[in-house]
Structure 1
């Protein structure tokens, strides 16, 4: 059970606090023990898995933080991503994707009905995917075993 302290109440990932005008504000909540360590850019994972870390945390900030706290949260995320080895270019790309409205066009149906699940190996996975794509085989890269 969480208890209010200093006019703030943590609830799941949300920190609810009272504003001066009597309304409630909300921002992303992290415990004091949170380390901001996520999947590092230099780790041996597929690039889409590494970019999903950025997009997931940005989406979480947009969904949870109110307009007064969003700028502060995005600043915190930029600092966190940099500490986890992500380049400024990757961070800006993830932010641009998150804040660009999606064009609601019908999704292109994949003609590939066969799927190949392969372990991700940075030097050859892309080459294998391109070869399999010629035969309408969709490749799904799995992270390395832990």
Structure 2
């Protein structure tokens, strides 16, 4: 959905596109404060009638505005990419040990990232057709490894 020429987003524009039977993912991709405010307010007014999740592909400064309530974003179960991840785990240690045993060296971050991306693609190839990428995250073994 495109905002009007002035950037305004209205409840009626959005409501016509929502599905009452499923989860509606609405992606906010704007750096315009008023557009973000309008969209968040419209979604907030519709969340009791529709199942709505707000998604952003990049966390823009507009979401840090005092005019957008953080609780409203939480109520809309906002999805956003994380800059950090907690991955000091047994999986990453097992991967590093197996790699080192097979190759005689410690995997660098590019090797590990390549494994993560390849493994994620393979998992997605074999998932059911009705699976939704927003229903789950990806799991990586990458952690802070030497270059």
TM-score scaled by structure 2? Answer: 0.36
TM-score scaled by structure 1? Answer: 0.37
Structure showing the higher strand proportion among its residues: 1
Structure showing the higher helix proportion among its residues: 2
